[in-house]
Amino acid sequence: MSCFISKYADELAKNAAYIGTPGKGILAVDESTGTIGKRLSSINVENNEENRRALRELLFTTPGALQYLSGVILFEETLYQKTASGGVIPGIKVDKGTVELNGTNGETFTQALDGLAQRCQKYYEAGARFAKWRAVLKIGLNEPTELAIQENANGLAMYAAICQQCGLVPIVEPEILVDGPHDIKKCAEVTERVLAACYKALNDHHVMLEGTLLKPNMVTSGSDSPKVAPEVIADEEEATLNLNAMNRLQTKKPWSLSFSFGRALQQSTLKAWAGKENLKKAQEALLVRCKANSEATLGTYKGDAKLGEGAAESLHVKDYKY
């Protein structure tokens, strides 16, 4: 254990362990107003607070879904809407997007450390018990640079330390974008470098690891490269199959390998909903994906889930921002 002192230590470890319960995962509905607006426009629904709330209520109140979920990541607007979401631990997105690192080829650093402690205290009082911060790196001819790796690793560590002092379990998310023609071996090599830097930084900042959650990218070939099996994650079903394949590996796994999915749980649900008139159909679609991913966390998914409309549509968005 690191030199971590906080009145929240036991609570952090307990909540992190619960969120990682085998057979359960996280539903991510932390999209910004602009991002969720793009999804609503794809089904010709106006982007206003009422419709955003209706969609999220649909997700949170799906009968039978909560048995497959341990946490839900919210956008600030949603946290204060007091949406019915009993049975899962609420979390909150706390970063404010990325800014470009000077002297690099479009590499970025995530911002929002200023005032983070005060915001985390407020989120804890509102009921949140974990947080999310997304760092973004890319693979290129000379990327990621050591500068980008170290800046993002230290940013994640500072965020994590602040969260834990305020009672929030930090999700550490160093995402390496799938964009590019690189092969799976290159992705594996870069992922190893990035994760090593992140855990060095977490230790340097005295973060209590058993009170954290890691949300890494899946190691796959790039979006512009020939695919390998399991295929590059591109749609809801492939995301589930990849998770199942990893949990079936016959190797030592001293941790729970679960899911924290947004689009990979919502795509077919959104298509089925198409507004407010198809609530039952949409919730049935969500339940199918939740159950399939629950089974995938145990390595027991047989690929037999009923695929709804949109389940086979690509989820890839180049240079994804949310």
Active site residues: 173, 215
Residue whose tokens read 């870069």 = 190
HEC profile for the chain? CCCCCCCCHHHHHHHHHHHCCCCCEEEEECCCHHHHHHHHHCCCCCCCHHHHHHHHHHHHCCCCCHHHEEEEEECHHHHCCCCCCCCCEEEEECCCCEEECCCCCCCEEECCCCCHHHHHHHHHHCCCCEEEEEEEECCCCCCCCHHHHHHHHHHHHHHHHHHHHCCCEEEEEEEECCCCCCCHHHHHHHHHHHHHHHHHHHHHCCCCHHHCEECCCCCCCCCCCCCCCCCCCCCHHHHHHHHHHHHCCCCCCCCCCCCEECHHHHHHHHHHHCCCCCHHHHHHHHHHHHHHHHHHHCCCCCCCCCCCCCCCCCCCCCCCCC
Q: How many CB atoms lie within 10 A of CB 322?
A: 18
